Amino acid sequence: MRTVISVLFALFLISLPLTAIAAEGPMKLPAGSNSGADMHNKAGIKDWNAGNIEGALKHFQEASAEDSTIAET
C-alpha cells in the first residue's frame, strides 16, 4: 500500500508542470511582423478562443509559412 501511495504521489508531482503549460494560450506576434503572418496569427487566436483548435492550427501553420522567423521553438 505504501508503494502505491508513493507512486501516485510521484505521478502527481510530475504532472504539476503540465497544468502550467495547459493554461498558456497562443501568443501575439511581435510588432513589425509580416502582415500576412500577423493576419493568420490573429485568425488562429480567434479560432483558438472559440474552441476551434483545428482551424487555429491551420492558421498558425499558415502564419509560420508566411514568416518562418516567428515560429516558437
Q: Cβ(48)–Cβ(25) under 8 Å?
A: yes
pTM over 0.85: no
Per-residue HEC secondary structure of the chain comes to CHHHHHHHHHHHHHHHHHHHHHCCCCCCCCCCCCHHHHHHHHHHHHHHHCCCHHHHHHHHHHHHHHCHHHCCC
Q: What is the pLDDT of residue 58?
A: 95
How large is the greatest C-alpha to C-alpha distance in the chain, in angstroms?
59
pLDDT in tens, 14-48: 775 655 555 567 777 777 788 888 899 899 999 98
| Residues making up the chain, counted from first to last | 73
